[in-house]
Structure 1
Amino acid sequence: MEATNTKAKEQIEKEFKELKLSLPKAAWFENSAMVLYKSFWCPQYFLKGAITFQNYFEAQDGDIILASLPRTGTTWLKSLLYTIINRDNFSSQFSQHPFHTKNPHDLVLYLEGLDLSTIIVGNQPLPRLFATHLPYLSLSDSIKTSQCRIVYVCRNPLDTFVSLWHFYLQFERNKDIHPNMELMEEYIGKYCKGESPFGPYEDHLLGYWEESNRNPQKVLFLEYEGLKKEPKAHLKSLADFVGCPFSEEEEKQNVIDEIIKLCSLKSLKEMEVNKNGNFSPMVENKTFFRKGEVGDWTTHFTPSMAKQFHQMLRKLNKAGFSFTYYRMNL
């Protein structure tokens, strides 16, 4: 096993170095390099992990994969899924829940963030829960061919951009950037052309949406706005999909409401670990918890900024996709 791991690591390192030199490059802010890898913009610090995941991850039939673009409700869905799947391990009031000491991102790991030994050993208890920002076409073949299930969450692109904009501005290495309307408009242009982390946005969304139409037992497609509007109904559907349905007794005991309360932005934001903890040397835990509002883009964009999203939205409409829970009056 050790010899196999060593050989695999050498192969990954070789492929990583070759790709890093040969692939088209762009930057999302000055200090965040991206490479165009398999038709999506992969942050360079995730490239080696993406290569490792695609070549060596073996999905199990009981696995659950949360897929999303950054800033579309990933943290919220990680907390909901983790709590739904593991709820028998906690008291009814969730007073001993791991969220009191760990950020949801420490409990539900990104597949493209795992090292080789973790991927090969895969010794998590079943059902295993992972997350990814990779597009559907770039997933490991084993995910597509196994009976594992995928939960995908999307968010309207204007609010997604605003959340992504603020998220990166809070990175330690971007502290010297002084944002203004001109800079924001420039980055809206990049985003709408598809030049953003794990973008293009519309290709990412459509990849999972089309697969959910072909195989609804495999992919559950959710809208962030729908979760906000009807959290209880969506939580029940989510629990059914991942094979952990709520019992009548749990419903009578308001377990669903307790999970919604525990995993709310307000609740997670107030936990001490998310006020003062660090996810990495460059990202504080509090960075993951901003507003979570629907329609926040209206307080940031001028009409000309909003119009830049027209082509993206037309592409979605042409493919037959429209947001069920959100109407953008552009």
Structure 2
Amino acid sequence: MKITRILNKIDRRFHPSHIYALQPDHDLLRENRTYREAKDIVLLSYPRSGNTWLRRLLANSILEAQQYPSSIQSDIPFETVVPSIYTQSIKPPCLHRYDEVCHRIVKSHEHRDARKHKTVYLFRNPVDTLVSWHHFVSNSPSLLQQFPWVVDLSIDEFCLNAVDGWAKHIQQTRHYKDILLVEYEHLFQYPHQMLANILDFCRIPRSNIDLDQIIDNQSIRKLKSVTHSQELRKGGVGHGEVELRPSTVTELRQYQQMLNVAWKPQVERSLMTAM
């Protein structure tokens, strides 16, 4: 498939791994990698695929499994229960104690952190993902300083230049042996069933967990009332289409359809297992 390249001089470093490596907390990222453990479970995704919401669902599930009460905003920050390798030290004293409930779950956007690890891979349709990614980069002064040419791109041009990287990120999972593919749209539509499937994959006991209560507490609607972070800008399905030209949506969907040929059967089996 031939994609129209808007800028011949586009900075090829514009990739999630390079972007995060340029952030002020790069020293933390490097230090965290020295504290990785072989039994860690990695929550992997392309940026803006919904992993903050999934991290909140998993963190609340882990806390309930330890008999902590479920709430919208727990006294125990979800970042210390399901940490991001970029922003939260994963040195054991800095994290909530798992107490043998399950192995540690760590969020990353980079395949280098997931290789040889049990992995939950969350992916979202390219239209919503890349529109959200555009807004995230455009509203980050530090990223714009590193990639000033972004301001000269329309949102359509940005998405068309980024979609190839989105597709390649998903394609790299084909070599994984212990991976659960989770489609964000399925998680959004069937949260109870999909969350139960993820918990089982991560071997988190569900006997003390009220999934319906967790899902209600961590609903996008309620979270938006207590957080003003860009991390939960929209959170739904289909919002990206209203911001792009129809021709752009069509081209992005072609990438999704191409990937569906290889990935959809496995994702559908996962959904049927959850149902």
Q: Same fold (TM over 0.5)?
A: yes
Partner SS for 2:136: helix
Q: CA deviation at 1:168?
A: 2.6
Counterparts of residues 17-56 of structure 1 (less than 5 Å): 26=11, 34=13, 41-45=18-22, 56=34
Q: CA deviation at 1:94?
A: 3.3
Q: Given residue 258 of structure 1, which amino acid in structure 2 is its aligned partner?
A: Q
Aligned partners of 1:71, 1:119: CA distance in 2, in Å?
Answer: 25
| Greater radius of gyration (CA) | 1
Aligned partners of 1:85, 1:311: CA distance in 2, in Å?
Answer: 38
Q: CA deviation at 1:294?
A: 1.0
Corresponding residue for 1:183?
154
**In the alignment, does 2:33 pair up with 1:78?**
no
Q: CA deviation at 1:153?
A: 0.7
Q: Given residue 241 of structure 1, which amino acid in structure 2 is its aligned partner?
A: F
Is this contact kept in 2: 1:188–1:308, CA < 8 A?
Answer: no
The unaligned stretches of length 5 or more in structure 2 are 1-8, 269-275
Aligned partners of 1:152, 1:79: CA distance in 2, in Å?
Answer: 16
How many residues in Structure 1 have an aligned counterpart in Structure 2? 250
Corresponding residue for 2:131?
162
Is this contact kept in 2: 1:35–1:43, CA < 8 A?
Answer: no
* TM superposition score normalised by structure 1: 0.62
Is this contact kept in 2: 1:52–1:112, CA < 8 A?
Answer: no
- Change in CA separation of 1:182 and 1:228 when aligned onto 2, cut-off 3 Å: same
Q: Given residue 128 of structure 2, which amino acid in structure 1 is its aligned partner?
A: D
Aligned partners of 1:132, 1:153: CA distance in 2, in Å?
Answer: 11
Q: CA deviation at 1:256?
A: 1.0
Aligned partners of 1:96, 1:303: CA distance in 2, in Å?
Answer: 39
**In the alignment, does 2:82 pair up with 1:108?**
yes
Corresponding residue for 1:206?
171
- Change in CA separation of 1:149 and 1:291 when aligned onto 2, cut-off 3 Å: same
Q: CA deviation at 1:50?
A: 5.6
Aligned partners of 2:196, 2:22: CA distance in 1, in Å?
Answer: 36
Moved more, 226-235 or 180-189: 180-189
Corresponding residue for 1:4?
none
Partner SS for 1:321: helix
- Change in CA separation of 1:189 and 1:155 when aligned onto 2, cut-off 3 Å: same
- Change in CA separation of 1:186 and 1:48 when aligned onto 2, cut-off 3 Å: farther
- Change in CA separation of 1:171 and 1:245 when aligned onto 2, cut-off 3 Å: same
Counterparts of residues 306-325 of structure 1 (less than 5 Å): 306-309=249-252, 312-313=255-256, 315-317=258-260, 320-322=262-264
Corresponding residue for 1:294?
237
**In the alignment, does 2:132 pair up with 1:125?**
no
The unaligned stretches of length 5 or more in structure 1 are 1-23, 28-33, 195-199, 276-285, 326-330
Counterparts of residues 8-19 of structure 1 (less than 5 Å): none
Pairwise CA RMSD of aligned residues? Answer: 3.8
Q: CA deviation at 1:261?
A: 1.0
Corresponding residue for 1:242?
202
Corresponding residue for 1:262?
217
Question: Which structure has more RCO (C-alpha within 8 Å, separation ≥ 6)?
Answer: 2
Partner SS for 2:203: coil
Is this contact kept in 1: 2:80–2:96, CA < 8 A?
Answer: no
Q: CA deviation at 1:290?
A: 1.9
Aligned partners of 2:72, 2:189: CA distance in 1, in Å?
Answer: 26
- Change in CA separation of 1:168 and 1:36 when aligned onto 2, cut-off 3 Å: closer
- Change in CA separation of 1:125 and 1:25 when aligned onto 2, cut-off 3 Å: farther
Aligned partners of 2:14, 2:71: CA distance in 1, in Å?
Answer: 42
Out of 58, 65, 80, the position equivalent to 2:42 is 65
Summarize deviations over 1:51-80 as a string: whole Å, max 9, x none: 5555x344142x222111111111111101
Corresponding residue for 1:17?
none
Q: Percent identity?
A: 23
Q: Given residue 263 of structure 2, which amino acid in structure 1 is its aligned partner?
A: F
Is this contact kept in 2: 1:152–1:222, CA < 8 A?
Answer: yes
Corresponding residue for 1:150?
119
Q: CA deviation at 1:93?
A: 4.9
